Chain A
């Protein structure tokens, strides 16, 4: 069975600070990896995804994530956060081989960016 761990449950940063949110997954086969964001009062939106190829993936709004296969990690980064990045961030994994093509989500990280 696949699983996802997000280590930071609540993160508070000042504007312009750098961000890194940790995500580790557990799965024995090929995976697709995702980061979703949920802004207050809004529905889930896809930030970025990794399927194959270059392990450094760039998404919307200046976010990027790096897939490190040896560490089973897919950490989310942004060099300089803005107040508008305040949201909840979810890492998700999809087992491609034998995983039923279903997404399994981490517990989420609540990010608050202060002015």
Chain B
């Protein structure tokens, strides 16, 4: 299965600023996703990163707050914009080949907004 490198692994940011998280997969994958895992909670899907087109966002998440890029089949970025303390969370990248394949997860980015 694919191996995912995600960076940064952690960051402490000032409110009102933005952070871009990078996700690099070691092989071409069909599907890439971004999740959020808030402290003590499960994973919530933010969006599906579509190669060459706009991401598909889940209910409660918008492009202005979480712009996503996916320029090719191995790389994606998630930006957390205009951050507030409520954005403090772990952000995870996931990748897979679609139906009948499992999904691999990156090690996550632990974001703290102060």
Partner of A102, one of B41, B42, B48, B104: B48
B43 adjacent to chain A (CB < 8 Å): yes
A108 touches B42 (CB 8 A): yes
Chain B residue total in the interface (Cβ 8 A): 23
B92 adjacent to chain A (CB < 8 Å): yes
B31 touches A101 (CB 8 A): yes
Which among B18-26, B65-73, B78-86, B94-102 touches the partner chain? B94-102
A101 touches B107 (CB 8 A): no
Partner of B41, one of A43, A96, A107: A107
Task: Please report the C-alpha to C-alpha distance between residue A106 and residue B37 in the assembled complex, in whole angstroms.
Answer: 12
Q: Which of B33, B92, B103 has the most CB of A within 10 A?
A: B103
Q: How many A-B residue contacts, CB cutoff 8 Å?
A: 51
**How would residues 78 to 109 of chain A score, 1 for a CB under 8 Å from any chain B CB and 0 otherwise?**
00000000000010001010001111111110
Q: Nearest chain B CB to A110's CB is how many angstroms away?
A: 9
User: Which B residue sits closest to A44, measured CB to CB?
Assistant: B105
* Residues 20-62 (chain A) with a chain B CB within 8 angstroms: 32, 34, 36, 42-46, 49, 51-52
Q: Nearest chain B CB to A97's CB is how many angstroms away?
A: 9
A103 touches B94 (CB 8 A): yes
User: Which B residue sits closest to A48, measured CB to CB?
Assistant: B102
Cβ–Cβ < 8 Å partners of B107 in chain A: 42-43
A101 touches B105 (CB 8 A): no
Q: Nearest chain B CB to A64's CB is how many angstroms away?
A: 16
Cβ–Cβ < 8 Å partners of A96 in chain B: 99-100
Cβ–Cβ < 8 Å partners of A102 in chain B: 33, 45, 48
Would you list 12 pairs from A and B whose C-beta atoms are within 8 A, ordered by A residue?
A: A32-B100, A34-B103, A36-B105, A43-B105, A44-B43, A51-B100, A96-B99, A100-B56, A101-B98, A102-B48, A103-B45, A108-B41
Chain B residues close to A by CB (< 8 Å)? 1, 31, 33, 41-45, 48, 56, 92, 94, 96, 98-100, 102-108
User: Nearest 7 pairs between A and B by C-beta?
Assistant: A43-B107, A44-B105, A105-B43, A107-B42, A105-B42, A51-B100, A108-B42
